[in-house]
């Protein structure tokens, strides 16, 4: 799992309005509508009366300056009454409950979760990001049913993506630098959805053949201009961006990439949607 840096996220709060307009231009949907689609609900069925507390955790490699504030700014942008607790760790959890927050969000080095302590619903950032970007890609391409999609990276985000893309009817191939990971992802998708995932073993060939690419890897700059055509669409939740500087202008209008927004939006809609 890639650990964010302050410089990856410090711009987010100030540019949420612009980012939302960018999403509408690319997908026809706002951040909230994408999250609602990913959470299999509708905007009007999401309960915004829930109060959201984001709790800084000092364990492991410790606090990322700006992380909890950025998460709270995203849920605030979506209309939820949100705050960052003054206390960290257990004290922060206690403060959140004392201040009447129904939704607790917190991240250590391994897991970033949203918990609805009223309904018991829980959402994991890796899986939610995978599903959120699959929903956005479905909207951006005009529908993925029977379309070939190449997933790069068989980690938590890639797996969340594969399960969501299978449900959307896509024909999925997967490439991972560790073939064992690809096999495990394919096995899990077959068990849960009955869909067969093709395993790609040659990255360059896979990138040249596939027009719809889902980059869930932490590898920078491995997608080059020669891989991009006017029909190429890329969903890139992976940090840092896999598309290199020369390829970026060729696909910018058909590329989805953000360090937190779509994942956090999907998490909060997951745990606040009404039954």
Write out the residues near ligand 2YC by the rule CB under 6 A. Answer: 1, 3-4, 56-57, 63-64, 67-68, 107-109, 112, 125, 260
Contact 234, 44 (CB under 8 A): no
Distance of closest approach, residue 129 Cβ to ligand 2YC, in angstroms:
8
Long-range pairs for 138-141 at CB < 8 Å and ≥24 separation? 138/37, 138/168, 139/27, 139/28, 139/29, 139/34, 139/37, 140/26, 140/27, 140/233, 140/235, 140/254, 140/256, 141/212, 141/233
Q: How far is Cα 148 from Cα 111, in angstroms, rounded to an integer?
A: 30
Residue 109 or 204: the one with the smaller Cβ distance to ligand 2YC is 109
Distance of closest approach, residue 60 Cβ to ligand 2YC, in angstroms:
7
Residue 125 or 266: the one with the smaller Cβ distance to ligand 2YC is 125
Sheet strands side by side (includes 122-124): 81-84, 51-55, 103-107, 112-116, 122-124
Distance of closest approach, residue 176 Cβ to ligand 2YC, in angstroms:
18
Distance of closest approach, residue 249 Cβ to ligand 2YC, in angstroms:
26
Ramachandran class of 146: left when φ > 0, alpha when ψ lies in -120 to 50, beta otherwise: left
Indicate the Cα dihedral angle 153, 159, 161, 165, nearest 10°: 110
Distance of closest approach, residue 181 Cβ to ligand 2YC, in angstroms:
18
Distance of closest approach, residue 1 Cβ to ligand 2YC, in angstroms:
5
Cis, bond preceding 240 (omega within 30 deg of 0): yes
């Amino acid at each position: 799992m890639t650990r964010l840096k302050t410089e990856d996220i410090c711009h987010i709060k100030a540019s949420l309005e612009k980012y939302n307009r960018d999403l509408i231009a690319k997908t026809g949907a706002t951040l909230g509508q994408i999250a609602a689609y990913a959470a299999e609900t509708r905007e009007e069925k999401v309960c915004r009366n829930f109060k959201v507390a984001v709790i800084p955790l000092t364990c492991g490699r410790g606090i990322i300056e700006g992380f909890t504030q950025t998460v709270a700014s995203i849920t605030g942008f979506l209309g939820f009454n949100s705050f960052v607790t003054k206390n960290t760790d257990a004290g922060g959890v206690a403060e959140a409950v004392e201040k009447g927050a129904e939704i607790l969000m917190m991240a250590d080095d391994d897991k970033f979760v949203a918990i609805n302590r009223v309904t018991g619903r829980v959402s994991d950032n890796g899986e939610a990001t995978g599903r959120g970007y699959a929903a956005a890609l479905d909207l951006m391409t005009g529908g993925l049913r029977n379309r070939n999609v190449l997933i790069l990276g068989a980690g938590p985000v890639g797996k969340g993506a594969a399960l969501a893309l299978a449900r959307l009817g896509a024909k999925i191939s997967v490439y991972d630098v560790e073939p064992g990971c690809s096999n495990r992802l394919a096995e899990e998708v077959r068990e849960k959805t009955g869909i067969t995932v093709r395993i790609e073993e040659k990255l360059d060939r896979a990138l040249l053949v596939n027009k719809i690419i889902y980059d869930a890897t932490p590898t920078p700059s491995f997608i080059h201009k020669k891989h991009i055509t006017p029909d190429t669409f890329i969903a890139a939740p992976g940090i840092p961006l896999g598309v290199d500087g020369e390829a970026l202008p060729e696909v910018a209008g058909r590329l989805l990439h953000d360090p937190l927004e779509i994942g956090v939006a999907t998490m909060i809609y997951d745990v606040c949607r009404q039954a």
